[in-house]
Structure 1
Amino acid sequence: MNDPGSRLTTDVERAVQVLRDGGLVAIPTETVYGLAADARQPAAVARIFTCKQRPADHPLIVHIHRPEQIPDWTLQIPSAARQLAEAFWPGPLTLVLPRRPEVADGVTGGLPTVALRVPAHPLARQLLARFDGGLAAPSANRHGRVSPTTAQHVWSELGDAVDLLLDGGPCRVGIESTIVEFVDGGLRVLRPGAITADDLQRVTGITPSIRTGADVRAPGAMTSHYAPRAKVVLVDADCVLPELAGWSARGARVGVLCAHRPDDLAADVPWLSLGSATEQQARQLYARLRQADELGLDILVAVPPPDAGLGLALRDRLRRAAGLGDGRLFVADASRRPSRD
């Protein structure tokens, strides 16, 4: 693919004009890069779905500059939503609220709700301040594939389907925002992220429920998502070497993704370090999944981090990368070598 050339920029004014003209702009956020369009222009929003090859009933997140813009998009703001916005905005938290009638179905996936977020990345904040409206912006990658955390990732995958790329450097958080909805006075997490269930409870005094199964209609909630071309197989740490041996015996090119290099790992098997601290793991996860494809791996054997705090979000992403977003954690039958088409 050619170099992005003049499409790669830090010029906010140019990006604003492209968006007002109905164009698509890849924008940096603290979580991942987003593919942004004016949320009030249905034709521009439709281009997002075409570019990503995304199902039309899959809702988008609307990014706004400040909490005072919430009433432009929703009919009702629960007190818990106000508390969370005050505590975590700008930041990696998305609030799902009842939509106003004029919000386009293309943005909401036809649902009676709209997802709102105030991002924290400085360049995104400059853009939203100048644009002074809402930007619908899912992750800037083909639907179901690995989310981008650099401008180069966006260009490598979407190329000139994007009108402009705002380069804000590597994303600080590295995984998508926590998504929360408000039901019968309670909180429900639809997608875990850097804002944890403990964080939500600390601010609101409400213990959130977690709902991340295949029946959830929320951004990033498909059973298979965030997936490299390599097949991701999840195992406990003590099963890494037998799993690698089994796939190698079938002729697969294998690698391993985990926090610490396994003892007795064969020299010709790539170890993709996930890092030790969960914050580091979040920043590196998607780059490592992309690296598996760059290495030409057929199989990536991965050890999920502990199921606590940010680890819950990392396990969620790895489950979906492995096609296990229905709630399973480990592959029951790893007997087939996948096609790499």
Structure 2
Amino acid sequence: MKTIVLNVKEQGLYWSHIEAAAQALRIGELVAFPTETVYGLGAHKDNPAAVAHIYEVKNRPEEKRLTLMIADRDDVRKYINHVPKTAKKLMDLFWPGALTLIFPFKDGSSLGIRLPDNTITRDLIRAAKVPVVTTSANISGYPPATDAQQVLMDLGGKIPMILDGGSTRLRSPSTVAKVHGETIEIVRHGIISESAIRSCIENNLAKHTM
């Protein structure tokens, strides 16, 4: 397989490259793209073959879940019936941004959701018009890629397309937190510190007990 690299910074080609990547996602292909943290590898959430291919390409353990990327905060309502007040406060402070929130369901499953602070990512998700799940665009166990060349080194020949948006701004993975009612469990430490998240929660609880 030949991996095509589309540079969205090429003059006059931004939207044509976005649409090409969106079309690839719609038909079940994998696409690597920039976020503000690291490059992500995306697939059509409702295409089982595409989702399975992500795990195959990355050598990713099956027990590790993928993250749903959304383009607008209101998209959360499509997937989560009730968002706890603490989660809403975290969304107010850190979205769009480098915070993934995991929402558990009654059946024991869960869904991680992130609203990225990157125009390219959000334009791609809107253009795709299908739900997009992601993980970092690297082989599992390798350092996450912060530019398209690193993605090409890891996944070249394994995925059809890389959307090149230059180096990522933060160059570090997002923080992942799981919502348990009005409490939060830090699942993965990242660019947003645990102390910042805890401070947000404590301030929110204080307001509701005054």
Number of aligned pairs? Answer: 195
Q: Which residue of 2 aligns with 1:254?
A: none
Rounded to whole Å, the distance in 2 between the matches of 1:15 and 1:146 is 24
Is 1:72 the counterpart of 2:78? The answer is yes
Is 1:8 the counterpart of 2:6? The answer is yes
Rounded to whole Å, the distance in 2 between the matches of 1:184 and 1:28 is 32
Shift of 1:99: 4.3
Query: Over residues 119-141 of structure 1, what are the superposed CA-to-partner deviations in whole Å (9 max), with x where a residue is unaligned?
Result: 11221121122223431111111
Shift of 1:73: 2.0
Shift of 1:166: 0.5
SS in 2 for 1:50: helix
Shift of 1:206: 6.0
TM-score (norm 2): 0.86
Q: Which residue of 2 aligns with 1:280?
A: none
SS in 2 for 1:198: helix
Shift of 1:25: 0.3
Q: CA separation of 1:197/1:186 partners in 2, compared to 1, >3 Å: closer, same or farther?
A: same
- CA contact under 8 A between 2:21 and 2:163: conserved in structure 1? yes
Rounded to whole Å, the distance in 2 between the matches of 1:127 and 1:99 is 28
Rounded to whole Å, the distance in 1 between the matches of 2:76 and 2:49 is 23
1:112 corresponds, among 76, 85, 109, to: 109
Q: Which residue of 2 aligns with 1:218?
A: none
Is 1:94 the counterpart of 2:91? The answer is no
Is 1:164 the counterpart of 2:161? The answer is yes
Q: Which residue of 2 aligns with 1:28?
A: 34
Q: Which has more strand, going by share of residues?
A: 2
Query: Over residues 198-222 of structure 1, what are the superposed CA-to-partner deviations in whole Å (9 max), with x where a residue is unaligned?
Result: 3223333269xxxxxxxxxxxxxxx
Query: Over residues 122-170 of structure 1, what are the superposed CA-to-partner deviations in whole Å (9 max), with x where a residue is unaligned?
Result: 2112112222343111111111111100000010111121111000111
Rounded to whole Å, the distance in 1 between the matches of 2:158 and 2:177 is 31
Q: Which residue of 1 aligns with 2:54?
A: 48
SS in 2 for 1:137: strand
2:150 corresponds, among 140, 149, 153, to: 153
Q: Which residue of 2 aligns with 1:215?
A: none
Query: Over residues 265-308 of structure 1, what are the superposed CA-to-partner deviations in whole Å (9 max), with x where a residue is unaligned?
Result: xxxxxxxxxxxxxxxxxxxxxxxxxxxxxxxxxxxxxxxxxxxx
Shift of 1:8: 3.0
Stretch moving more, 54-63 or 124-133 = 124-133
Higher relative contact order (Cα pairs below 8 Å, separated by 6+ residues): 2
The AA in structure 2 aligned to 1:22 is G
Shift of 1:97: 0.4
Query: Over residues 226-284 of structure 1, what are the superposed CA-to-partner deviations in whole Å (9 max), with x where a residue is unaligned?
Result: xxxxxxxxxxxxxxxxxxxxxxxxxxxxxxxxxxxxxxxxxxxxxxxxxxxxxxxxxxx
Shift of 1:100: 8.7
Rounded to whole Å, the distance in 2 between the matches of 1:197 and 1:52 is 28
Q: Which residue of 2 aligns with 1:176?
A: 173
TM-score (norm 1): 0.54
SS in 2 for 1:125: helix
Structure 2 gaps, min length 5: 9-16, 205-210
Is 1:144 the counterpart of 2:141? The answer is yes
SS in 2 for 1:161: coil
Rounded to whole Å, the distance in 1 between the matches of 2:201 and 2:155 is 40
Q: Which residue of 2 aligns with 1:238?
A: none
Q: CA separation of 1:206/1:192 partners in 2, compared to 1, >3 Å: closer, same or farther?
A: farther
Report percent identity of matched pairs.
33
Rounded to whole Å, the distance in 2 between the matches of 1:67 and 1:133 is 16
Structure 1 gaps, min length 5: 102-110, 208-341
